[in-house]
Structure 1
Amino acid sequence: MRESEFHDVRWIEGESTSILLDNGKIEDIKTNYGNGCGVRALCGGSWGYTSSEGVDGIDAAIKAAIELASDVDKHSPREKVSLASYSEPNVDNLPSIKENPRDVPVEEKVELLKDLSNNASCKGISSTSASYSESTLKIHYTNSEGADCEYELTRVGFAISAIASDGAAYQVGRESNFDVCGYEMFRDPEILEKAQSAGKTAVDLLGARQAKGGKGPVILDPELAGVFAHEAVGHASEADLVLEGSSILADRIGEEIASPLVNIIDDPTLHKFGYYPFDAEGMQSHRTDIITDGILNSYLHSRETAGKLGGASGNSRSQGYSAPVVRMSNTYVDNGNSNLDEMLEELGDGIYLAGSRGGQVNTGEGVFQFNAEKGYIVEDGEIGDLVRDVSLSGNTLQILKNVVLVGNDLKMHSGRCGKSGQAVPVSDGSPHLLISDALVGGVQ
């Protein structure tokens, strides 16, 4: 068996609680505890990875990972991996927790969800679902280069959905918020207003007409524009996808790929849901300017991809003990100089798209399709009738070039991002964007 050139260990201790209410009644309450480690070893160009539960298995896990890497390298040798250099991170920017959620009785959390359900249950709502989550994780990282660092982080959040039905059709309104903070989030009365908004959205959409499809100018609200920044641009900037040939942004560093008004940033140092002080490889978190004044400036990197392509690593992430992969954190379009009224006036006649109901993107071909939660017909610069079942689709690079105004009202939204079978906390956001020409899906 060969000795490894490198190995590292991520030790994780965690506690989480989740509560689910269906129509105001308790559906599920779970509290989970765990501790264990994920271990990697590198031999030549091959990685070995293993994990272990409990406190006594680290040495055995390291030995197993080295054996795996050595066997793979012996039987299927690959080009030698050169990792970007390592330096110990400074862990000095942790978010403050004003009220530890573990100190709040579960009965109070259940009452909170009941209040959310009641506020979402306006006239016309047939059912509601409310969920609460909290987690506290302690991450301890060491490697064969002498690294030894750790941090502890608490995340909390909620989601509320409301369904309106007329017997033949139904519509859903949903609101949520997740953050790196304590239970103080739930002392803010605005969360009850979010629940009311979920109910109102469902009822309003049930009575709305379907959108008419076609090409033309559109305004994207901060939530939908943030989803575009994350899904269509952020994933395409992940350097592992670039190396796999699965990114439209390959070989474009230094190229103008967007309107000069567009600046897209990924920043794990922001105290948002995607925050971390160092990544899953123990590398210092840092802001990455992906697009600057329309020019592709940087990819997101692990130590391996930075070693191959150049650039700064610090974007490896993992769910639990899983193997790290290149991931986003808090990804957003930066503020511009316009306000919404100016955009509406410039738009004239078109459509205003708001909210997100998911979608799909092909980073290799650079095409996407996202479903908006709702749309509004705009005539003579005035927001008019609500429409439903509306989507935005097109070519990523063409849409970036078609941005003609960028708002000054950046807002962030939180959620979880899936990749390689793992989901990690992220935030994305944007100000309003005016796009001169896009394909809007609806009835023909």
Structure 2
Amino acid sequence: MDFYDTRVIKSVSTAIILDNGEIREISNNFSSGAAVRVLSGGTWGFVSQDNPENLNEALASARKLAEAARDRSHRAQIKLAPVEKPTLRNLPQVVENPRDISIQDKVKLLVELEKEARSDGIKSTSIIYSESLTTVSYSSSEGLDCEYTLNRMGFAVSAVAMSEGMYQIGRESRFGVSGFEIFKKHDAFGLARKAASTAIELLSAKTPKGGTYPVILDQELAGVFIHEAVGHAVEADHVMEGNSILAGKIGEQIASPLITAYDDPSLHEFGYYPFDDEGAESKRTTLIRDGVLKSYLHSRETAGIFGGESRNSRAQGYTRPVIRMSNTFIGDGETKFDEMLSELKDGIYLKGSRGGQVNPGEGVFQFNAERGYMVRNGELTTPLRDVSLSGHTLEILNNVVAVGNDREMNSGRCGKAGQLVPVSDGSPHLLVRRAMVGGAG
């Protein structure tokens, strides 16, 4: 046995769902478990269990699995990049502890939120509330021993408008590593009204004619682009597997010199963690600087292969850790939004995200925007719906001709290897010289 580590995770969570003002679900969940890894030669053995008490038994099982696999097929020795004991500093502060607030008061607040979302023309609403308190304890055969406790919480509001048999939806959500103050911090009532007004506005919006246009991407859509199209391509396991358009491009100009992008788990956003699931302290990684690819995202294993630093090994609960993003974003530029509109002159402004798909190996993507506007002579005109952005990652990156000074972050959960982890992504507004825009269907 060359190396082993253990993670013990204990979590308590609460979820509330309101459907059209009626309580559909209130749930409290308690979970505890452990994950154990053993490295023997070039092979990992992994065991997870619901009972965190019998770690020695789990360690023995993981060792047997690793040694049996090693004996069946010989693999090259795995060299893990070193990590130092993490220092826990600048931890997020909870101002209003959600566990000090009764379920009745939480439901009352959500009912008030639902009333704000139910304006004229809104046919149905949904409010989701979630909170969790999780403690992660990590130890390794190298003597690392560290622990943190983190509060995550947030809410989502959906409003559906209907006219002449057609439905449109507006959504707003905020999730973070704060306490109950998140509702005031983000003006939850204003967001509920915004979800409703978006749904109603989309009813009368037009679908654009597909084609190539100059476009402005808002902070949310540009953030989704940097996460999906770039972030997954810089995950070093994808690079190793030959499934990244950015393989072998470290040090090369891959984007407009205006683009600088980061992944930063130390930011107090939804993707925050004090140390990753291999005990590596959270620090900022510069992915792209002035258009040049500077780094991949690493686990200890891939950092040992490529060089670089390990700080992005993450797992959902007590599953196997894999390389994941945290808070991924494009840094601010200098252009104001109204200057960007003037420079665009005639084109399309795309706002929000409704998902999409990306192939990091081929570098092609297609994202659905929540909505958009035609831009005529630098002015926002016709509202648009069912609108998508598609193209090639490197072409879009190189076609960025202005970067805004107004970065915003958006939160969500990212799926990979059958696991979901909290992430945030963000960007300022981006002006792209030419991009494929089409109906999102």
Deviations, residues 397-420 of structure 1 (Å, cap 9, x unaligned): 000000000000000000101000
Task: Name which of 278, 283, 289 aligns with 1:292.
Answer: 289
Once residues 188 and 278 of structure 1 are traced to their aligned partners in structure 2, the CA distance between those partners, rounded to angstroms, is 26
Q: CA deviation at 1:194?
A: 0.3
2:275 partner letter:
F
Instruction: State yes or no: 1:99 paired with 2:96.
Output: yes
Once residues 204 and 327 of structure 1 are traced to their aligned partners in structure 2, the CA distance between those partners, rounded to angstroms, is 36
Q: CA deviation at 1:118?
A: 0.9
Once residues 195 and 61 of structure 1 are traced to their aligned partners in structure 2, the CA distance between those partners, rounded to angstroms, is 47
> Which residue in 1 is equivalent to 2:84?
87
> Which residue in 2 is equivalent to 1:308?
305
Q: 1:427 to 1:443 in 2, by over 3 A?
A: closer
Task: Name which of 180, 185, 199 aligns with 1:183.
Answer: 180
Q: CA deviation at 1:111?
A: 1.2
Instruction: State yes or no: 1:318 paired with 2:315.
Output: yes
Deviations, residues 106-134 of structure 1 (Å, cap 9, x unaligned): 11111121112111111111100100000
1:67 partner letter:
K
Q: CA deviation at 1:59?
A: 0.9
Q: CA deviation at 1:179?
A: 0.5
Q: 1:443 to 1:211 in 2, by over 3 A?
A: farther
Once residues 203 and 185 of structure 1 are traced to their aligned partners in structure 2, the CA distance between those partners, rounded to angstroms, is 26
TM-score (norm 1): 0.98
Secondary structure of the residue aligned to 1:160 is strand
Task: Name which of 228, 231, 237 aligns with 1:231.
Answer: 228
2:405 partner letter:
N
Once residues 53 and 421 of structure 2 are traced to their aligned partners in structure 1, the CA distance between those partners, rounded to angstroms, is 27
Secondary structure of the residue aligned to 2:53 is coil
> Which residue in 1 is equivalent to 2:23?
26
> Which residue in 1 is equivalent to 2:119?
122
Deviations, residues 65-99 of structure 1 (Å, cap 9, x unaligned): 11111111111221211100121110112101111
Once residues 52 and 224 of structure 2 are traced to their aligned partners in structure 1, the CA distance between those partners, rounded to angstroms, is 40
Deviations, residues 5-37 of structure 1 (Å, cap 9, x unaligned): 011001111100000010000000110111111
Once residues 97 and 268 of structure 2 are traced to their aligned partners in structure 1, the CA distance between those partners, rounded to angstroms, is 17
Q: Is the 8 A contact 2:174 2:186 kept in 1?
A: no
Once residues 382 and 117 of structure 2 are traced to their aligned partners in structure 1, the CA distance between those partners, rounded to angstroms, is 23
Once residues 298 and 129 of structure 1 are traced to their aligned partners in structure 2, the CA distance between those partners, rounded to angstroms, is 41
Q: Is the 8 A contact 1:280 1:316 kept in 2?
A: yes
Q: CA deviation at 1:187?
A: 3.4
Instruction: State yes or no: 1:253 paired with 2:250.
Output: yes
- After the TM superposition, which segments of 4 or more aligned residues of structure 1 sit over 4 Å from their partners? none
Secondary structure of the residue aligned to 2:301 is helix
Task: Name which of 353, 358, 380 aligns with 1:356.
Answer: 353
1:99 partner letter:
E
Secondary structure of the residue aligned to 1:115 is helix
Task: Name which of 360, 376, 381 aligns with 1:379.
Answer: 376
Task: Name which of 333, 345, 363 aligns with 2:342.
Answer: 345
Task: Name which of 400, 405, 409 aligns with 1:408.
Answer: 405
> Which residue in 2 is equivalent to 1:395?
392
Q: Among all aligned residue pairs of Structure 1 and Structure 2, give the percentage whose two residues are the same amino acid.
A: 57
Once residues 75 and 186 of structure 2 are traced to their aligned partners in structure 1, the CA distance between those partners, rounded to angstroms, is 57
Q: 1:401 to 1:188 in 2, by over 3 A?
A: closer
Secondary structure of the residue aligned to 1:265 is strand
Gaps of 5+ in 1: none
Instruction: State yes or no: 1:442 paired with 2:434.
Output: no
Deviations, residues 207-248 of structure 1 (Å, cap 9, x unaligned): 111122110200000000000010000110000000000000
> Which residue in 1 is equivalent to 2:212?
215
Once residues 149 and 131 of structure 1 are traced to their aligned partners in structure 2, the CA distance between those partners, rounded to angstroms, is 33
Q: 1:89 to 1:374 in 2, by over 3 A?
A: same
The alignment covers a number of residue pairs equal to 441
> Which residue in 2 is equivalent to 1:59?
56
> Which residue in 1 is equivalent to 2:192?
195
Task: Name which of 256, 260, 271 aligns with 1:274.
Answer: 271
Q: Is the 8 A contact 1:213 1:443 kept in 2?
A: no
Which moved further from structure 2: 110-119 or 126-135? 110-119
Q: Is the 8 A contact 1:52 1:58 kept in 2?
A: no
Q: Is the 8 A contact 2:9 2:33 kept in 1?
A: yes
Deviations, residues 178-215 of structure 1 (Å, cap 9, x unaligned): 00011111234711000000011011101111122110
Q: 1:187 to 1:337 in 2, by over 3 A?
A: closer
Once residues 224 and 185 of structure 1 are traced to their aligned partners in structure 2, the CA distance between those partners, rounded to angstroms, is 23
Q: CA deviation at 1:148?
A: 0.3
Secondary structure of the residue aligned to 2:423 is strand
> Which residue in 2 is equivalent to 1:9?
6
Secondary structure of the residue aligned to 1:183 is coil
Instruction: State yes or no: 1:431 paired with 2:428.
Output: yes
2:146 partner letter:
C
Q: Is the 8 A contact 1:221 1:433 kept in 2?
A: yes
Once residues 188 and 111 of structure 1 are traced to their aligned partners in structure 2, the CA distance between those partners, rounded to angstroms, is 18
Once residues 437 and 208 of structure 1 are traced to their aligned partners in structure 2, the CA distance between those partners, rounded to angstroms, is 23
Gaps of 5+ in 2: none
Instruction: State yes or no: 1:161 paired with 2:145.
Output: no
